[in-house]
Amino acid sequence: MNYAVETFNLTKTFEIRKRKEDLSTWGRLFSKGEISELKAVDHINIKIPKGELFGLLGPNGAGKTTAIRLLSTLLLPTEGGAKVNGYDVVEKPDKVRESVGVLMMGERSLYWRLTGRENLEYFAALHHIPPKMWEDRIHSLLEHVGLSERSDDLVEKYSSGMKQRLAIARCLLHDPPVLMLDEPTLGLDPGAARSIRNMIRELRDQGKTIILTTHYMKEAEELCDRVGIIHEGKIIALDSPSNLKTKVKEEEILEIEATNLSDSLAAYLKKIEGVNKVAIIVTDPVISYGTVRIHTKDSRRILPSVLSCLNENNVNVQNIKVSEPTLEDIFIQLTGERLQK
């Protein structure tokens, strides 16, 4: 099989120097301290067929962005290697760059004092697209991302969602077969995020190979053909979302919505016989409102003890249900930690 992306023990190690603080009459002085190593990406082996929408799912700091930087030639691997569209990322970086469109999280990839159209014209010139060709291409892309009517407005007047749509259009200018989208919906309002997800589905339907990094479980479940769960630089699970969820189906997920939740509550709940794992997700810190998700093999048997524990800790229960497992539950089962930190 011809793969769009292959990695071979892909590894990136960063050196971290700890600073030592010296106090003197002149104030605080910092001297060079010991050097330690951090493996941001640790011997990753993945094969992504052409046309697949592949998700890298993990919390912030797991190694998702570093992996994208390696695959797009923005970083050199410390060990191992990778091929994108058949080209080695070290030996043929120019060919790799011609083959990919990259959207990096948190980077300002547009010029805000230019219009949307002027931005695309500028980047088309960087890609050596002939002016005779780029006019039709830019017109088509602006229509595709829904920005035709605002194409002559300065980008600084765009909303966050509009800027993200224009950034995706920039990635598509040279019609690359592989797209790498790093947290494309991060920080967007629900409507804008939905629009971006719809665009990603359309691009997959057009035959693009897409690598999507996210720490949103629902997004990965909605969009991805396969998901690689990454934790501390390592791929700890890799399969379709549905197959991954079957691995925890032997457990039930007791889901309790409540107020007055605290971090210490998890320790008390874990002491109850029959409770395997506990995750507490606070969505409204003002009233400490959120959800307690308890992994168990018999929710009915443990429920009285759970309710007694909650009552002793002054937790006000709003709703109780037994829910289907999610990718968050897979992550908790594999690592003992919550996915979203």
How much is the pLDDT for 132?
A: 83
- pLDDT of residue 34 exceeding 90, the answer is no
* Residues 243-294 pLDDT 10s: 887 776 667 889 999 999 998 999 999 999 999 889 898 989 999 999 999 9
Q: Between 220 and 252, where is the model more confident?
A: 220
Q: Supply the pLDDT for residue 218.
A: 85
Q: What is the pLDDT of residues 289-337, one digit of tens each?
A: 999 999 888 899 999 999 999 999 999 999 999 877 777 777 777 776 6
In the block, residue with structure tokens 């210490």 = 264
Task: State pLDDT tens for residues 37-80.
Answer: 889 999 999 999 999 999 999 888 899 999 999 999 999 999 99
Provide the pLDDT for residue 19: 65
Res 3: pLDDT: 95
**Average pLDDT, integer, range 148-175:** 94
Measured N-to-C along each axis, helices 190-205 and 160-172 cross at an angle, to the nearest 10 degrees, of 20
Domains contained in the chain, CATH given: 3-245 (3.40.50.300), 251-324 (3.30.70.1340)
